[in-house]
Amino acid sequence: MVLFYFPPDGHMGTKRGLGFVRNLKAYGWEPIVLTVEPSLLYYPWYDNDLLSRIPPEVKVFRTKMFSNLMFNEVGTRWMPYLIPKARRILKEIGFDAIFITGGPYFHFLMGYFMKAVYGIPYVLDYRDGR
């Protein structure tokens, strides 16, 4: 699961992704989360209480993100870290599908890349709002 907004982030979009993470196991899926490192640069609203809602068995991987690029959409600043990290996770752990939620939306291209190169199916969740 590729979730830009994830605990400790307190945006509304965090709650949707966290809900999927908490409930997918009941449907036979074991979510692995790929998100950005917690930092005030990325998350202006922290809610550390949300960290306790992540099931302990869920693996969470975090990446950095460029802070200064001429593009304002944060997905463009995340992509240089996102794809290499996803490739390492695929090699070390493996996964059967990719679930990507947005906005931001530019990182949705990661799904196309992973499908083209590795044949891994992906789902894009066009979440409404933040």
Tokens 């990182």 map to which residue?
Answer: 107
Percent of the chain clearing pLDDT 70 (strictly above): 92
Q: What pLDDT digit, counting tens, does each position of 21-51 carry?
A: 999 999 999 999 999 998 766 677 889 999 9
CB atoms within 10 A of CB 86: 23
Total-model pTM:
0.92
Tokens at residue 101, please? 């939620």
Q: For position 130, what pLDDT does the model report?
A: 47
The pLDDT confidence band at residue 57, using thresholds 50, 70 and 90, is: very high
Average pLDDT in the chain:
90
Q: How far is CA 36 from CA 1, 27, 86, in A?
A: 12, 26, 12
pLDDT at residue 69, as a whole number: 64
pLDDT mean over 94-114: 93
Q: Are 94 and 118 in contact (CB under 8 A)?
A: no
Q: 33 and 4 in contact (C-beta within 8 Å)?
A: no
